[in-house]
Amino acid sequence: MKICMVAEGCYPYVVGGVSSWIHSIIKAFPEHEFLVLAILANRSYRGKFAYELPENLTQVYEVYLEDFDWLSRKTDRKRRKQLNPEEYEAVLSLLINQNVKWDVLFDLFQDGKFSLNEFLMGPEFLRAVRECYQINYPEAVFSDFLWTMRSIYLPLFLALKTEIPRADLYHCVATGYAGVLGSMAKARYGCGLLISEHGIYTREREEELIRAKWVAGIYKNVWIDQFKKMSRLAYAKADCVTSLYEHARKLQIELGCDEELTMVTPNGIDEKRFVGTPGEKVVEENMVHIGAVLRVTPIKDVKTLIRAFAFAKERVSNLKLWIMGPMDEDEQYAAECFEIVETMGIQDIVFTGRVNVTEYLWQMDMTILTSISEGQPLTILESYAAHKPVIATDVGNCRGLIFGEDDGIGPSGILTHVMNVEEITAAMVEMATDEKKRLEYGENGYQRMMKRYKLSDMQGTYRNIYNYFEGLKK
């Protein structure tokens, strides 16, 4: 069976998290041929892979959300397509978000005669935006509203113009733009459509937009509605929708997914990778070592981590923090983190860059994750595989991983509120000064991981899912 994985902003360009999951899935099923349809911001990412691609991954296709319609202006004028009434109503239904006629939109944007440049700057889009404005946003300044709508819809329209490779199953690792492409593939080829959400895409985008400074007023709502309508499309077209934990499944249903399509498929890791003590010992015996396996990016809230460590070290002088992960994804943010360390004069923080975590985790006394958004973090499960307790913020499924979900196993770490320096500091101090608790929590975590979160369990679940779709194909 040929499976096309559709991923936004991750594999195979960024390591960790969802990327690691995709890589492990592809490697786990060598009997299937995989393609990747990678959704990227722009062409600067082209071909810059962070992974050695498995042999059964035969092609990577790229979609750019910040790009151009490559027809020349001269050609545009010759080939400009006038919308018929049905097509215009479909565009309007999208803008006002009422009974969106997606199948008509798929055909419209896949028409080779359709010029996106001419459409966005032409009278038909202007007319549709004006109708949307009069219905929903008459209090706004129209000129601002028009240009905002062009910027909002350009990425979606570029995705809709994508030439979709043929596959038997489209496996989308999110809703959003990935879900749109998967839905369009199903409409065009009659293929299967599987949606696997690691975080709830709509909620994550909503949280980001609420905090964002680059968009204000009614335009936050316009952007949020855009992501909601894309997710509803994916839920409506999907044959199966998975999530990592029960609360996420309930959120999917709340957002419009048919409950009968949903199922929980927890993450899993290869616990055998963490057996023994591989690699060279790099830590000092007289220190208490805290490992943070993460990308140095705002969503991981490394700044709060650094500040909390500084205060904890004032109370426990032999603490040492190891920040293990890439620092080139957001170089400005990484530079700001380095500056905080220098300005505050914090000792014993090591930025290792990319490392093989199996060579480091066994040397840590605990691990920590201060993210402001997560799904079901693999780094916590890896910590458990190494018998190490965790400190984590209360996001995604971190609460379930630390306290269990009726598994009869005790706590395996300490949970804190997001961006709460005082709580995170206190958790570091508590764990650092109580070796008995560290060992007990670490063992609880190992037992929890072995009971429910092994890679073999996850592979078995997805083997059954893939077999189901392969049976439909026959």
Task: Return the pLDDT at 79.
Answer: 55
**Rounded percentage of the chain residues whose pLDDT exceeds 90:** 80
Task: Return the pLDDT at 78.
Answer: 46
| pLDDT tens digits, 325-343 | 999 889 999 999 999 999 9
pTM (2 d.p.): 0.89
The residue ranges of every structural domain in the chain are 2-68+161-264, 74-154, 271-452
- Burial degree of 243 (CB within 10 A; 0-12, 13-18, 19+): buried
Half-sphere exposure of 20 (CA within 13 A, CB side): 18
The overall average pLDDT reported for the chain is: 92
| pLDDT tens digits, 141-189 | 999 999 999 999 999 999 999 999 999 999 999 999 999 999 999 999 9
Q: What is the C-alpha separation between 122 and 154, in angstroms, rounded?
A: 14
Q: Give SS3 for 319.
A: strand
| Domain 271-452 in the same topology as domain 2-68+161-264 | yes
Q: Is the domain covering 2-68+161-264 a CATH 3.40.50.2000 domain?
A: yes
Give the DSSP letter string of 68-117.
Answer: ---S-HHHHHHHPPPPPHHHHHHHHHHHHTSS--HHHHHHHHH-TT--HH
Task: Return the pLDDT at 302.
Answer: 97
Q: How far is CA 463 from CA 219, 343, 468, in A?
A: 43, 51, 8
Task: Return the pLDDT at 422.
Answer: 98
| pLDDT tens digits, 373-411 | 898 999 999 999 999 999 999 999 999 999 998 899 999
Q: What is the C-alpha separation between 316 and 299, in angstroms, rounded?
A: 27
Q: Is the domain covering 271-452 a CATH 3.40.710.10 domain?
A: no
Closest CA to 383 of 405, 411, 415, 412: 412
Q: Tokens 């910040």 map to which residue?
A: 66
